[in-house]
Amino acid sequence: MEIILASGNRHKLFELKEILKGHTLLLPKDIGISFDFEETGSTFLENSQGKAFDLFNKVNRPVLADDSGLSVATLNGEPGIYSARYGSVNGVELEAPVRNLYLLDKLQGKTDLNAEFICCMTLVLDKNRFFAVQESFKGEITRESTGINGFGYDPIFFLPEYGKTVAELPEKEKNTISHRGKAGYRIAKLLEKLE
């Protein structure tokens, strides 16, 4: 199926293309549409559905939205739905490496470094036919950035069972265990059984 991804994030597209093999995923700009959704929801689900329907209303064909982020236990779930905007100054988003340092700084002196990535995906097939799934991926925040793969918070997200950060894992391996990989797998299964 040809699906338009309600995002401008090339990293997400790259991961999702691998996860949803057999389907054609395009960004709005690939079909000449500019798409910039203002996230005003208070949950990943609200933002994911908002993004998906906003784009569906423009393109009137299957749309997939991914709203995701990092939740750190000792920071009461921060940065959460504000993951992309965390530490912004006057509405200007920080580059990921600077944002990671900003988060590491907030964790200085804290001993509980448990965190999880969360991904909520909404697939809209028609205005009255949509599916939402949310998955999570648990790990710990490191004290310093390590690794060059992936994107965003990956270099500071440590997986004790692998002894590595997500940014040290091969991209394909990340997809088998990540929040996005798990949510995408559910969507893929759903598409397989679609009537």
Binding site for ligand IMP (CB under 6 A): 9, 39, 67-70, 83-84, 117, 150-154, 178, 180
Shortest Å distance, C-beta 121 to ligand IMP: 10
Q: Which is nearer to ligand IMP, 28 or 150 (CB)?
A: 150
Shortest Å distance, C-beta 52 to ligand IMP: 12
Count of alpha carbons within 13 Å of 33, Cβ hemisphere only? 19
Q: Which is nearer to ligand IMP, 56 or 178 (CB)?
A: 178
Distance, CA of 115 to CA of 140 (rounded, Å): 5
Shortest Å distance, C-beta 139 to ligand IMP: 10
List C-alpha distances in Å: 58 to 31, 48, 85, 187. 11, 16, 25, 22
Closest by CA to 88, choosing from 75, 108, 76, 103, is 103
Token pair in block for residue 55: 């784009």
Q: Which is nearer to ligand IMP, 7 or 125 (CB)?
A: 7
Residue 53 backbone dihedrals phi, psi, to 5 degrees? -75, -30
Query: Known catalytic residues?
Result: 67
Amino acid at 98: V
Shortest Å distance, C-beta 188 to ligand IMP: 17
Shortest Å distance, C-beta 114 to ligand IMP: 16
Q: Which is nearer to ligand IMP, 97 or 194 (CB)?
A: 97
Distance, CA of 179 to CA of 186 (rounded, Å): 11
Cis peptide leading into residue 170 (ω within 30°): no
Token pair in block for residue 169: 């894992």
Q: Which is nearer to ligand IMP, 115 or 129 (CB)?
A: 115
Q: Is 60 left (phi over 0), alpha (psi -120 to 50) or beta?
A: left
